[in-house]
Amino acid sequence: MKSIYLDNNRATKIDPQVVKVMETLYNDNFGELHALHFAGAKSRKIYNEALEKVYASIHANDKDTITFTSGAAEANATILYSTYLNYILTGRKNSIIVGEREPESIMQMVDFLRSQGVRVHTIPVNGDGVIEHERIYDYITPRTALVSVSMVDGESGAINPIEQIAQACSKYEVAFHTDATHAIGKIPIDMQDIDISYLSFSSETLHAPAGCGVLYLKEGCDLLPLIRGNRSQAEALRGGPLNLTGIASLGKAVELASDALDFEMQDTKDLRDELEEKLTQIEGVQSLVPWALRSPNTLLLAVEGVESEAMLYELNRDGIAAYSNTVYPYGEWDRKALPSAMGLDKKLDHSTIGFALSRFNTQEEIEKVVESFTNAVEYLREFMPKDQK
Amino acid sequence: MKSIYLDNNRATKIDPQVVKVMETLYNDNFGELHALHFAGAKSRKIYNEALEKVYASIHANDKDTITFTSGAAEANATILYSTYLNYILTGRKNSIIVGEREPESIMQMVDFLRSQGVRVHTIPVNGDGVIEHERIYDYITPRTALVSVSMVDGESGAINPIEQIAQACSKYEVAFHTDATHAIGKIPIDMQDIDISYLSFSSETLHAPAGCGVLYLKEGCDLLPLIRGNRSQAEALRGGPLNLTGIASLGKAVELASDALDFEMQDTKDLRDELEEKLTQIEGVQSLVPWALRSPNTLLLAVEGVESEAMLYELNRDGIAAYSNTVYPYGEWDRKALPSAMGLDKKLDHSTIGFALSRFNTQEEIEKVVESFTNAVEYLREFMPKDQK
C-alpha cells in the first residue's frame, strides 16, 4: 500500500534538491565559521549563501538582522524572554498581547510568563477562525511590550489580518512579532510591505530537515540573545556552533519554496479545493475557515458524530496521514479548540480532522483520500452512542 | 595538496556511518513524534533508538532524564536560566560558581546574569591549567544555586577534577553541572560513578553534524524548560518539533564514539604524543598542560616569538587547519588566556597554537605537520621585532 502524507504543517519530506545540498557537506571538513583556515572559509561561503537566500525569500532589508536558530520555537522563546527580561522585569513596559491560537511555543511561554507575574492579554478569533484585530485596541497602550500574532494558523490555515495588527502596533509604537512558519512558501511575505519588528519561521514545514529556523529582527529593533556562546553568527544574536547542515538546507528550502509559491497557490490549492468540495458534500462535514481566508494547502474539517482519534486511526489503516490537534497525548494543550472558539457547538471540539497538503501530493492521492474518508465517516457513525446521533 | 584537519574540538567531519543513518531519513515521510499515523510511528522508533544509545553512552540511569537540544550551548543556557529564574530570582538561592575557563556559552551567560545582579564566583586554574578544586570551598555554601565546571577544557584538553568538585557539591547539597562536550568520546564517562546533577554535550565534536546536543538531568533534580512548545520529547524539558536528522545522527555518533574510545585513548593519543614530542623539541615551544592531565586528542602549545594568527596563516598555506582561541574576531572574549592564567609570561597569551586530532588523522599527516610547523617557526621568528627575541 502506497502511503499518502497529508500532515505537512507539522513535518515534511525532505526535498531531493535539499538532500543534494546536504550531501555536499559529507565528504569534507567544514570548520567553525570564524576559524582562520580553509575549512572555516568553506563554512563562511555556505553560511553567506544561505543567509542571502533567506533575505531574498522575505524581501528583508540589508540592514535588518537575520539569525539562524534551531527553529521557530527557539526564535519565539528568544523574543519572549527578551521582552520579559529587557522590558517587563525592568519596568519599562508592562504587558503582552497574543492571539488566542498562537503556536504552543508562544502559548506555553506566555503561560510561564503569567506565572512570573506578567500581564498577558489574549485576542480571540472571530466566527471565521481569524484573529479579531479590532480587539487589539481593547488592550494596547504605549506600555505594551509586545504583540504576537502568527501570520497563518498551522492547524486551520486561517490567514490573520497582519497588516491591521501591524498598523495598531505602529500607532502605539509597540513591537510586533509574527510567527510565519505556516505562511512561508504558502502566501507571499514581503517585509517591505508591513511594519514587522520580529518574524520567525521554521524548517520543518519547508521540505527541509527539522532543527533549523530563522529569527528576523527589523533595523532599529532590539533583542537580547537567548542562547549565548561563541558568536558564530556575525550579528551575535545567537551563540553556539553553527548548524551548517541545517542552515544550508534551509537556504535551499526557502529558495525552492519561493520558486514553488505559484505552484503552491494554484496547483496545490486546486487539489485542496477538490478535497474540500468532495468531503464537505458529506452530511455533517463542514470546513471551519472560509476558503478566501485560508492558506492554500490546508483544510480543517469538523465531522459531526465522529471522534478525531478514531478517524485518524481509520485513515491510517488506509495508509493516510492526517492530523487533529485534539488528540495530543499531553494534557496541557492551552489553545482553545477551534470549533468552540468560533462559536460552534462544543461537541465538535473533538471532531476536527485536518489535511495539510504539499507540492508532492497528487490527484490520485486526493481521490483515494476522498474514498477512505467517506467510508470511515459511514463506518464510525455506526458506532456512535444514540444520543449523539 | 591534501588538506590536514586538526581543529576537531570545534567542528568535525561527519563519519560515513553517520551519513548512512542520515540517508535513511531522506526518501520517506517522518512525522511529528506523537502523530497518530505511520509517519509518527517511524519517528518514534528512530527517536527511541537514539535515546537508548545516549543513555548507554554515559551509563545513565533509566530514571534520569535525557533531552535532545540544539547543542551544548542551548543545554547550558537552559541550566543557567532555570537556575536564575527558579532559584535566584525567587530568593531560594543566592549565587553561582563557575570555572574561569568554562565554554563561552557559560561565560557569556554568567556575564549576562551578573548584569542582572547575580553574584558569580570564578574558580581559577592552577599552574597545570586545571581547575583548582579546593578553591570551591572558598565560595560554596548551602545557598549556592549551581556549580558549573566542564569535564575537559576544549582549548587546552585539560581534564578537570570533576570527582572532587562533585564531592564538594554533594556535601553542601548544591546542584553540579558539567559540560562534557570535550570529554565524550575522549575519556570514559559514567554517570553511576560521579554525582552530577546536569550534564551537557554537543554533536559537533562527535563526527556528527553540528546542531544537536544532549541535556542530562539526574533523577531527583529539576529544571525549567527554556524552549517551550509542543512537547515532542516525552519528558517535556524541551518543546519544538524534533530535529530527527540531528537526533538519529547523534545517537549513531555516540555509539561510534563509545566503540572508538579505546582507539581514541591509544592510537589517536599515540599520534598526538608523537606530534607533541617532536614540536616541543623546538626551542621556545612548550606544551601547556601536563600530558597525564590532558584529553588524548589535544595539544596546546605556546610558541615564543610567534604570533598565533601568523602561525595559523602559515599552516593554512600548507593545507593544515589548527586553532588558537586568541585570534577570535570579536572583542568580547571573556575567558582568560591560558598562559597568563597559569602564571606564565603574559607575552605568551598571543602565541598559543592548538591541535585537536580525531580518529581520522594519520601518521603521514602528523609528519607533514611537524615539517610545516618547524619551518613556520623559523620563518616567523625572522620577522620578530628585535626587542622580543
Q: What is the pLDDT of residues B273-295, one digit of tens each?
A: 999 999 999 999 999 999 999 99
Judge whether residue B236 has pLDDT over 80.
no
Question: Could you identify the residue written with the cell 458534500?
Answer: A281
Residue of B nearest to A77 (CA): B227
Average pLDDT, chain B: 94
Whether residue B11 and residue A28 make contact (CB cut-off 8 A), yes or no, is: no
Set of chain A residues whose Cβ sits within 8 Å of the Cβ of B239:
73, 104-105, 108
Mean pLDDT of A181-195: 97
Q: What percent of chain A has pLDDT over 70?
A: 95
pLDDT at res. B330: 47
Task: Please state the rounded mean pLDDT for residues A257-279.
Answer: 96
Kindly state whether A13 is in contact with chain B, defined as any CB-CB distance less than 8 angstroms: yes
User: Taking CB atoms and an 8 Å limit, are B37 and A224 in contact across chains?
Assistant: no
Check pLDDT > 70 for residue A75: yes
CA A158/CA A151 separation, integer angstroms: 8
Find, among B220, B215, B180, B173, the residue nearest to B198 by Cα.
Answer: B215
Distances (CA, A) of A345 to A62, A303, A337, A339, B155: 49, 12, 11, 7, 62
Contact across the interface for B228 and A108, Cβ inside 8 Å: yes
- pLDDT band per the 50, 70, 90 thresholds, residue B240: confident
Helices A38-57 and A244-259 meet at what angle, rounded to 10? 30
Instruction: Please state, for a pLDDT cut of 90, what percent of chain B lies above it.
Output: 88
pLDDT above 70 (res B388): no
Stated as kind and residue range, the H or E segment containing A13 is: none
Q: Within an 8 Å CB–CB cutoff, is residue A103 touching chain B?
A: yes
The predicted structure's pLDDT at residue A218: 97
Nearest to A28 among B13, B69, B322 (CB): B13
Amino acid code (one letter) for B48: N
Taking 90 as the threshold, does the pLDDT of residue B214 lie above it? yes
Average pLDDT over residues B33-59: 95
B26–chain A Cβ distance below 8 A for any pair: yes
CA distance to partner chain B, nearest, from residue A171 (Å): 31
Q: Is A39 on the interface with B (CB under 8 A)?
A: yes
Contact B322, B296 (CB under 8 A): no
Rounded to the nearest 10°, the torsion over CA B162, B165, B169, B172 is 160
Separation CA B45–CA B217 (nearest Å): 22
Q: A4-12+261-388: what CATH class?
A: alpha beta
CB contact under 8 A, A108 and B39: no
Kindly determine whether residue B321 and residue A244, on different chains, have CB atoms separated by under 8 Å: no
Q: Residue A358: what pLDDT?
A: 97
CATH fold group of domain B4-12+261-384: Aspartate Aminotransferase, domain 1 (3.90.1150)
8 A C-beta contact, residue B38 and residue A14: no
Which residues of chain A neighbour B109 with C-beta distances below 8 Å? 228
Confidence of residue A336 (pLDDT cuts 50, 70, 90): confident
Q: What is the pLDDT of residue A383?
A: 80
Determine how β-strand A4-5 pairs with β-strand A65-69.
unpaired
% helix, strand, coil for chain A, step of 5: 40, 15, 45
Least confident of A21-25, A35-39, B2-6, B385-389: B385-389
Contact criterion met (CB below 8 Å) for A96 and A145: yes
Is pLDDT at B127 greater than 70 in this prediction? yes
Query: Cβ contact (<8 Å) for B240 and A73?
Result: yes
What span, in angstroms and rounded, lies between the C-alpha atoms of A84 and A220? 19
Q: Residue A378: pLDDT above 60?
A: yes
Q: How do residues B134-187 score in pLDDT, each as one tens digit?
A: 999 999 999 999 999 999 999 999 999 999 999 999 999 999 999 999 999 999
How confident is the model at residue A123, as a pLDDT? 96
Nearest to A31 among B7, B112, B211 (CB): B7
pLDDT for res B327? 67
Quick one: what percent of chain B has pLDDT higher than 70?
95
CB atoms within 10 A of CB B139: 17
A224/B contact by beta carbon, under 8 A? yes
Find, among A57, A25, A359, the residue nearest to B204 by Cα.
A25
Sheet strands side by side (includes A213-217): A65-69, A213-217, A198-202, A176-179, A144-148, A95-99, A119-123
CATH of domain B16-258: 3.40.640.10
Confidence at A229, pLDDT banded by 50, 70, 90: confident
Phi-psi group of B196: left, alpha or beta (phi > 0 → left; psi -120 to 50 → alpha; rest → beta):
beta
Q: What pLDDT does A331 receive?
A: 43
Beta bridge partners of B111: none
pLDDT at residue A387 in the model: 60
pLDDT band at B387 (very low <50, low <70, confident <90, very high): low
pLDDT of residue A169: 98
pLDDT band at residue B13 under the 50/70/90 scheme: very high
Q: Residues of A numbered 255-314 whose beta carbons fall under 8 angstroms of chain B's beta carbons: which are they?
A: 309, 312-313
CB contact under 8 A, B315 and A38: no
pLDDT at B331: 43
Mean pLDDT of A153-175: 97
Confidence check: pLDDT of B233 > 80: no
Out of B3, B103, B323, closest to residue A229 by CB: B103
Distance from CA of A170 to the nearest CA of B (A): 28
The answer to whether the CB atoms of A36 and B309 lie below 8 A apart is yes
- Report the distance separating Cα B283 and Cα A21, nearest Å: 47
Q: Which residues of chain A are within 8 Å of residue B116 when distances are taken between CB atoms? A: 85
CB B123 within 8 A of CB A254: no
**What is the predicted pLDDT for the residue at A386?**
62
Rounded to a whole number of angstroms, the CA Rg of chain A reads 22
Query: Looking at residues B319-348, what average pLDDT do you find?
Result: 80
- What pLDDT is recorded for position B325? 85
- The residue with greater pLDDT, A332 or B54, is B54
A29, A106, A235, best to mutate vs chain B, most B CBs in 10 Å: A29
Cβ-defined contact of B72 to A29 (cutoff 8 Å):
no
Per domain, the residue ranges of chain B are 4-12+261-384, 16-258
CA dihedral A273, A8, A340, A176 (to 10 degrees): -110
B106, containing H or E segment: helix B104-115
Taking an 8 Å cut-off on Cβ atoms, the answer to whether B229 and A73 are in contact is: yes
pLDDT digits (tens, 9 = 90+) for B72-110: 999 999 999 999 999 999 999 999 999 999 998 999 899
DSSP per-residue codes, A276-336: HHHHTTSTTEEESS-GGGB-TTEEEEEETT--HHHHHHHHHHTTEE-B-GGG-SSS---SP
Contacts of B245 in chain A (CB under 8 A): 209-211, 245
End-to-end CA distance of chain B: 33
CB contact under 8 A, A316 and B72: no
Asked if the ipTM is above 0.85, the reply is: yes
Average the pLDDT over each of A87-91, A208-212, B184-188, B324-328 and give the range with the smallest value.
B324-328
- B15 DSSP assignment: P
Residue B306 backbone dihedrals phi, psi, to 5 degrees: -130, 130
> Do A228 and A153 touch, CB atoms closer than 8 A?
no
User: Which one of B10, B77, B330 has the shortest CB-CB distance to A32?
Assistant: B10
Query: Nearest CA of chain B to the CA of A254: how many Å?
Result: 18
B10 and A31 within 8 Å at the Cβ level: the answer is: yes
Section A134-154 average pLDDT = 97
pLDDT in tens, A363-377: 999 999 999 999 999
pTM of the model: 0.96
Q: What is the spatial distance between Cα B202 and Cα B72, in angstroms, rounded to a whole number? A: 5
| DSSP character at residue B389 | -
Q: Which of A44-48, A329-333, B315-319, B373-377 has the lowest mean pLDDT?
A: A329-333
B74 in A contact zone (CB under 8 Å): yes
* Cross-chain Cβ contact B11/A35 below 8 Å: yes
Q: Flag if B246 and A209 touch (Cβ within 8 Å).
A: yes
State pLDDT tens for residues B365-383. Answer: 999 999 999 999 999 999 8
Taking CB atoms and an 8 Å limit, are A29 and B11 in contact across chains? yes
Whether B330 and chain A come into contact, CB under 8 Å, resolves to: yes
Q: What chain B residue is nearest to A28 in terms of C-alpha separation?
A: B13
Provide, as residue numbers in chain A, all residues whose Cβ is less than 8 Å from the Cβ of B39: 3, 5, 7, 11, 321
For residue A329, pLDDT over 50 is answered with: no
B332 pLDDT more than 50: no
pLDDT at A117: 94
A232 pLDDT more than 80: no
pLDDT tier, A332 (very low <50, low <70, confident <90, very high otherwise): very low
A312 neighbourhood in chain B, CB within 8 Å = 36-37
**Do the beta carbons of residue A104 and residue B228 sit within 8 Å?**
yes
Query: In the Cβ-directed half-sphere of A172, how many Cα atoms lie within 13 Å?
Result: 22
